[in-house]
Amino acid sequence: MGYKFLVQILPANSSPSEQSLVSISQVIPQKVSYNFDVKPILSDKCFACHGPDANTREADLRLDTHDGLFNTLIQSPDKKAVVPSEPDKSEIIQKIFSDDPKIQMPPMDSNLSLTQIEKEIIYQWIEQGAPFSEHWAYISPVKPKIGKPHFPHWEENPIDWYIGRKIHQRRWSPSRLADKETLLRRVYFDLTGLPPTIEAIDAFLADDSDDAYLKVVDNLLESPEYGERMASIWLDISRYADTHGYQDDLERFMWPWRDWVIHAYNENLPYDQFITWQLAGDLLPNPTKEQILATGFNRNHSITQEGGVIPEEYRVEYVADRANTTARSLLGITLECARCHDHKYDAISQEEFYGFFGFFNKVDEKGLIDYGEFPKPRIPINKEIATQDFPFIHFPDSIGEFYLMVMEDSPGIRQTHILDRGQYDAPTKVVAPKTPEAILPFTDEFQNNRLGLANWLFNDENPLTARVTVNRLWQQFFGRGLVATPDDFGNQGANPTHPDLLDYLAYTFQFEDQWDTKNFIKRIVLSATYRQSSSIVQEHKIIDPQNTYLTYFPRYRLSAEMIRDNALATSGLLVSKIGGPSVKPPQPEGLWKEKGGNGLVEYIPDGGQAKYRRSLYTFWKRTVPPPNMLIFDAAYRDFCTVERQKTSTPLQSLVLMNDPQFTQPAEYLVDSYDHVIQNGSLNELLTLLYRSITCRKPDFEELQHLIEFYNSTLKLDSLETEILETKMEINSKLNRSALIEVARLIYNLDITTQKS
């Protein structure tokens, strides 16, 4: 029996006009891939009952393995779920196309259903012989071959070849390169988190040499601000904060670890060492003090001080947090889903969760800490120690000794058990430290501890570490990873939009760049793909709304840190001092106090220069984070965050319009042009303001709007304050308050808050 297709199926290579109004996911590829087309459907709609978790498996049927798909069914030995090339004999087809509620899969009560396209994909895959392969992300990347350029004048490096091939297949073209002003601002933000100065823009505009851009990139990668930019991303991943979190949320002192992160990035410590030190610096042979300090990474999780909690319950949380952070950020696996039962979608058993957990479970630590306590294990830090052992720590004279939390194993302290339903008080079987088998077996060549784990992560055969890392770096520049779910490379994660590019980048980073982050980043920013114009190509957008083809550079809002830093930097207020303790710029009064408690309730804003430090130094109280950053989607830092949201809300408009942190720069900037105000023309001044803030020259129309706005604001002021005559008298020179309004307007422009 055959099934009638209800949807119009368009092969991927049909002509552009045929495809004109069909979005890419509505097209069934000519050759259906199990990994990329079929399994995502099975995983999302079937695995919960027919997947890896044996305890909830229905009808003894599993669809996540080769045997389950193709062998005879345990409960119906005369049938098979899938009979290659014979969809109508395949039980799965009978079930998913059935209208009978008793037969139909997924069943009604699952609240899941297959779309017509999804059914069609499964049908065609079987018809095409049902080719099967293991999960793509668990197969080590090999270096794919590169052919002739598709767009000879466009392809600067292999990245462009892969991007170009897909664009070419679609019979599209990439965009022209961005203009120099736009490109410069883009690469400044991406590499340093800060905008270029007018002088830097002028120098770049004036430099006609072929390597003008290359010189800029090299300079930026060598600038200390590069380390700050990279660190601000790493702080989200490592859930860095200046307080302990949970209910009481008192202060902790981990900022020297942040200084180390900035230092490590600026020194371009190879990524494998950067991670190994943080995971297992203490276990390296004859570790240096710096390597031990780096392990503070795994102590950045929250620690409770709520009197009356059961300490063991929380200690178990801390260990789980370390395991989850490592798995999520470095391996792109949702390990935590296997804490209470086997993973529902991926090949990770509950036992493997606790095996991974075991690496982090040998620390002699407390679940509940007192007020004012510096939790062990720890190392002392004071001015003298910092000067002698940690020259990269910016230790102020005014601060006395304190302790920094680090990792230290106490062998024999406890065994790791599987915890039934994830409960701290329900230990069952003892398990040894190990990693999920399906990724790469944890053989005897690896030590049974965190150092073994680090070595396993950076083993040549590990299929995930490099892919996950290059994907995250890609996301840093393009706003979205080649895998759109940077913390999930499993069955429920997104497919890579460019699998071969992902593998090329992973292979190159691991084996050719030898984990050299700066070199790798340089590959990205030098590519023509990265240097494209960000004007949206409307014909492409209809079909590819997320711009996965990258036929133009994607525009995204600047991060919370960048938005504030931009206001400080463009106005000249920014204090560019690297490192040191966190600072407290002004915030609305009473925010800490009104939440109650008797610990850290007084927010005493810093004065002087500390008000104008970069935002990655802003004091982070987990339970009441700085509101003007939270409003711009900064992470709470309760847990590891690999990707922030990118929203647009009215509260953001209020911050930009009214927060003194944003209105004051406008005043400061105007005042810094006092000499022009006295002697220059309105056009000149408005151009300066516009260029300072947006990094581009106003065109005629923009300038006309600004002039009109300035003049009408003057009139408005006069009407409102009824001091018309006074205004007229001083009309010979420019009006400061109207200029400030102009500057505020420019600070609120979309192009100011976006990376174009």
Partner 1 sequence: MGFGIGGLALGYLLDPLDFGKERSSVVDMLQKGSLSLPHFAPKAKRIIYLFQSGGPSQLDLFDYKPMLNQNRGMDLPESVRMGQRLTGMTSGQQNFPLTGSIYEFAQYGESRAWLSELLPYIGKISDELCFVKSMHTDAINHDPAITFFQTGSQLPGRPSFGSWMSYGLGSLNNDLPSFIVMLSKGTGRAVAQPLYSRLWGNGFLSSLHQGVQFRAGKDPVLYLKNPDGVSKLERRHMLDYLAKINHQHADEFGDEQILDRIAQYEMAFRMQTSVPEVMDIKNEPDSVLQMYGPDSLKPSTYASNCILARRLIEKDVRFVQLYHVGWDQHENLPAEVKRQAKDVDQPTAALILDLKQRGLLEDTLVIWGGEFGRTNYSQGILTDIDYGRDHHPRCFTIFMAGGGIKPGITYGQTDDLGYNIAENPMHVHDLQATILHLFGIDHQQMTYKYQGRRFRLTDVHGNVHQKILA
Using CB under 8 A as the binding rule, the residues of this chain from 299 to 358 that contact partner 1 are 302, 304, 306-311, 317, 334, 337, 344-345
Phi and psi at 397, nearest 5°, equal -65, -25
Which H helix or E strand runs over 754? strand 754-755
Provide, rounded to whole angstroms, the least separation between the CB of residue 718 and partner 1: 12
Which region among 73-81, 154-162, 355-363, 739-747 touches partner 1 (by CB under 8 A)? 739-747
Q: Which of residues 109-128 bind partner 1 (CB under 8 A)?
A: 111
Compute how many residues bind partner 1; rule: CB under 8 A. Answer: 104
Which region among 188-196, 223-231, 398-406, 705-713 touches partner 1 (by CB under 8 A)? 705-713
Provide, rounded to whole angstroms, the least separation between the CB of residue 243 and partner 1: 11
CB atoms within 10 A of CB 134: 14
Which region among 82-90, 375-383, 503-511, 530-538 touches partner 1 (by CB under 8 A)? 530-538
Phi and psi at 211, nearest 5°, equal -100, 25
| CA–CA dist 684, 698 (Å, integer) | 11
Of these, 64, 120, 259, 702, which contacts partner 1 (CB under 8 A)? 702
* Tokens coding 313: 């319950």
Of these, 484, 575, 677, 688, which contacts partner 1 (CB under 8 A)? 484
Which region among 6-14, 429-437, 657-665, 670-678 touches partner 1 (by CB under 8 A)? 657-665
- Gyration radius of the chain's alpha carbons: 29
DSSP string covering 508-520: IIIIISTT-HHHH
Under 8 Å between Cβ of 634 and 625: yes
| Residue among 350 and 534 whose Cβ is closer to partner 1 | 534
| Residue among 343 and 362 whose Cβ is closer to partner 1 | 343
Of these, 709, 718, 727, 736, which contacts partner 1 (CB under 8 A)? 709
| CA–CA dist 210, 32 (Å, integer) | 45
133 binds partner 1 (CB under 8 A): no
Of these, 60, 384, 445, 750, which contacts partner 1 (CB under 8 A)? 750
| Residue among 193 and 245 whose Cβ is closer to partner 1 | 245
Under 8 Å between Cβ of 329 and 487: yes
Provide, rounded to whole angstroms, the least separation between the CB of residue 492 and partner 1: 2
618 has which bridge partners?
583
Which region among 64-72, 386-394, 492-500, 681-689 touches partner 1 (by CB under 8 A)? 492-500
| Residue among 274 and 603 whose Cβ is closer to partner 1 | 603
Q: Which of residues 44-73 bind partner 1 (CB under 8 A)?
A: 44
Q: Which of residues 10-49 bind partner 1 (CB under 8 A)?
A: 23-26, 43-44
Angle at 428 between CA 420 and CA 318, to 5 degrees: 60
Three-class SS state of 435: coil
Q: Which of residues 353-392 bind partner 1 (CB under 8 A)?
A: 368
Q: Which of residues 138-197 bind partner 1 (CB under 8 A)?
A: none
Of these, 181, 225, 248, 565, which contacts partner 1 (CB under 8 A)? 248
Under 8 Å between Cβ of 735 and 714: yes
| Residue among 116 and 247 whose Cβ is closer to partner 1 | 247
Under 8 Å between Cβ of 320 and 312: no
Handedness of CA 394, 396, 397, 399 (dihedral sign): negative
108 binds partner 1 (CB under 8 A): no
Which region among 158-166, 298-306, 516-524, 608-616 touches partner 1 (by CB under 8 A)? 298-306
| Residue among 23 and 98 whose Cβ is closer to partner 1 | 23
Residues in the chain: 756
Q: Which of residues 545-584 bind partner 1 (CB under 8 A)?
A: 545-546, 548, 555
* Tokens coding 654: 């209020």
Which region among 131-139, 282-290, 515-523, 748-756 touches partner 1 (by CB under 8 A)? 748-756
Under 8 Å between Cβ of 471 and 483: yes
724 binds partner 1 (CB under 8 A): no
Per-residue contact string for residues 582-621; x = within reach of partner 1 by CB under 8 A: ------x-x---xxxxxx-x--------------------
Contacts for 176 with CB less than 8 Å, ≥ 6 apart: 532, 533
Amino acid found at 360: F
Provide, rounded to whole angstroms, the least separation between the CB of residue 258 and partner 1: 22
657 binds partner 1 (CB under 8 A): yes
223 binds partner 1 (CB under 8 A): no
Residue 641 burial class via C-beta count within 10 angstroms: exposed 0-12, middle 13-18, buried 19 and up: buried
CB atoms within 10 A of CB 551: 22
DSSP 266: H
* Tokens coding 31: 């050759």
Of these, 224, 441, 572, 660, which contacts partner 1 (CB under 8 A)? 660
Provide, rounded to whole angstroms, the least separation between the CB of residue 251 and partner 1: 14
Three-class SS state of 495: coil
536 binds partner 1 (CB under 8 A): yes
| Residue among 109 and 397 whose Cβ is closer to partner 1 | 109
8 binds partner 1 (CB under 8 A): no
Of these, 210, 397, 720, 725, which contacts partner 1 (CB under 8 A)? 720
Place of tokens 């604001």: 713
Angle at 476 between CA 471 and CA 481, to 5 degrees: 35
| Residue among 645 and 732 whose Cβ is closer to partner 1 | 645
Q: Which of residues 617-646 bind partner 1 (CB under 8 A)?
A: 622-625, 627-628, 630-631, 633, 636, 638-639, 645-646
Amino acid found at 628: N
**Residue 191 to residues 262, 525, 533: CA-CA distances in angstroms?**
13, 9, 18
Provide, rounded to whole angstroms, the least separation between the CB of residue 642 and partner 1: 10
Of these, 488, 500, 503, 513, which contacts partner 1 (CB under 8 A)? 488
User: Among candidates 78, 63, 66, 180, which has minimal Cα distance to 131?
Assistant: 66
| Residue among 160 and 248 whose Cβ is closer to partner 1 | 248
Under 8 Å between Cβ of 126 and 80: no
Phi and psi at 403, nearest 5°, equal -120, 145
Which region among 224-232, 280-288, 402-410, 482-490 touches partner 1 (by CB under 8 A)? 482-490
| Residue among 90 and 182 whose Cβ is closer to partner 1 | 182
* Tokens coding 736: 């400061």
Angle at 570 between CA 527 and CA 669, to 5 degrees: 160
Of these, 155, 160, 228, 249, which contacts partner 1 (CB under 8 A)? 249
Q: Which of residues 401-460 bind partner 1 (CB under 8 A)?
A: 425
* Tokens coding 25: 């996911």
Contacts for 74 with CB less than 8 Å, ≥ 6 apart: 59, 60, 61
Distance of alpha carbon 20 from its chain centroid, rounded? 33
| Residue among 378 and 744 whose Cβ is closer to partner 1 | 744
